[in-house]
Structure formats: C-alpha cells, structure tokens
Amino acid sequence: MTIKQTKIETGTAFLEASVTPEEIEVEKNRVVDEMIKSVSVNGFRTGKAPKSIAEKELDPNKLSDHILNHVMSRLLEQTIKENKYRLLGRPVLDEIKTKKEGGWSVKLQLPLYPEIKLGDYQKYLKSKTKDKKIEDVYTKLLENERFAVSPLVIKEEVNYSLERLNAQAKSLNLPIDDYLKALNKNLEQVKKEYAESAEKSVRLDLILLEIAKKEGVDTKDTELLELAKVSNLPNTQPDQLRSVVNRRKTLDLLMTL
C-alpha cells in the first residue's frame, strides 16, 4: 500500500493511495472469517459451517462494504503513522477506482488538527469592568486567535444541523421547504448561517482546549465519574466528558482575568 500526499490546503491533507490486489485479498479473508461466525447454514450450528459453504451465504453488498471499511482503516492507520497526522474529524473518500492490473486507486481528504499559536490572552481579555460577559470573552478570543479550520469539519457540522432541522420539520408534518418559508429563510441562507456558527464554535472549542493545556487545567477521573453519576450521563466516553469539563473550567478561569 503506497500513499502520497499531494497537497495540504486550509487544514486539509489531500492524498492518493494505491492498494494492491494482494492487500485487498488479505482484508477480504479477514472479513469473511469475521462474518461467517454469525452465518446460519442448514445442517450446521451457527458459525460452524465450513468456510467454503458459509461464504456463499454472505450478502455480497455487505461483504463489499466490510472489505472497503477494512482497507480504508488500514490505509488510514498507515497514513497517520507515516505522516504523524493529528486528525480533527472524519476522513472523506473522494474517489475509488479499480485499476486495470487489479487493486484500487484511492483519493481521500483528511481534516487536520490546526496549529494554534496562542496570543497574549491574559492581556487582551483583562477587563476594567466588573460585569465581564461570556460573550465578550468569546468575541475577543475569536478576534485575536486566528487559524484555519478544515472545511470538511465545518461541512460535517452543517450536515448535523440540517439533520436536526429536517427532524424539526418532520415533527410538524411539514416539508422542509414549507418549514423554511415559515422562518422566512431558504436552504442556502440556512446553510450559510450554520457554516458561520459551526466555524466559530469549532474554533472556540479548540482555543479553550489549547488554553486549558497551557494553564494546566484538567479533570481527574474520579471527578468525571462523580459528575456523570450526578448528571445521569453515560461514563463510557470519559475523554469526551473531560474535554467538556475542561472547557468549562477554562472559561471560568478566563472570566476572572
């Protein structure tokens, strides 16, 4: 498997990869071995039929999807290791073609974690008034800490927001166009608003997490478990919860400047 970075643009790495027929066959065998464990064949207990027989019972579409997922997982693992990438979001598959000699030609994009060089936030956030507002802190952070966020991340956030919008319209038994008319907006306006909001939100989160690292703000596991228990939140994703709490603590710190 050979991978070539063609360019990096606006926080996004563009890659081209070549996957050999042998590498695809290896992943296919792994996928088949995994999938036949749940296959039922007459005369055999579930998952106990010979591989040559059980394989014929597999859904070809599901098999193809699983093979692609396995290959992409290996490709991504190798890419991150070779280039020491730190991803901010999910990769996007641009193109996949079968080559004449066999194997695949793949093009994909990776949203990279931006390089953030913090300014003197303690100075520009210092307030002469006692009634400092969170909105003021947000505004100054966004004005003074400038860096690019991959459009892939913004697009993903916009899609999430559009899904929620569609769900709202559906709950009112309204077509999305009629729902937007009631709001005196069109789809393009909404997408633009969502994109602007997402860009600010992502940048703010990254800035706060970067300041948290610099200020040594962190949350212990015991504190997270207690918070999850009190708030009735799942504690299966402690890192995600830790990020939320650390951002909150950092904001509290900045409010005292």
Distance CA 78, CA 80 (A): 6
CB 211 within 8 A of CB 248: no
CB within 8 Å of 67: residues ≥ 6 apart: 24, 27, 28, 31
pLDDT at 236: 57
Q: Give CA 230 to chain center in angstroms.
A: 28
The partner residues of 7 in beta bridges, in order of sequence, read: 14
Distance CA 256, CA 128 (A): 11
What is 2-111's CATH topology?
Answer: Alpha-Beta Plaits (3.30.70)
pLDDT at 244: 85
Q: Give CA 176 to chain center in angstroms.
A: 26
Q: How many CB atoms are located within 10 Å of the residue 200 CB?
A: 15
Provide the residue type at 71 as one letter: V
Q: Which CATH architecture group holds 121-255?
A: Orthogonal Bundle (1.10)
pLDDT at 222: 82
Domain boundaries, the chain: 2-111, 121-255
Q: What is the pLDDT of residues 3-58, one digit of tens each?
A: 999 999 999 999 999 999 999 999 999 999 999 998 888 888 888 889 989 899 99
Distance CA 255, CA 126 (A): 9
Tell me the torsion sign for CA atoms 82, 88, 90, 96. Answer: negative
| Residue 96 token pair | 């996949």
pLDDT at 238: 67
Task: Say whether 121-255 and 2-111 share the same fold.
Answer: no
Distance CA 251, CA 89 (A): 24
Give CA separation, 130 vs 127, 144, 184, in Å: 7, 22, 39
Per-residue pLDDT 10s for the chain (257 aa) are 999 999 999 999 999 999 999 999 999 999 999 999 988 888 888 888 899 898 999 999 999 999 999 999 999 999 999 999 999 999 999 999 999 889 999 999 999 999 999 999 999 998 877 788 999 999 999 999 999 999 999 999 999 999 999 999 999 999 999 999 998 999 999 999 999 999 999 999 999 999 999 999 988 888 877 777 776 666 556 677 888 889 999 999 999 88
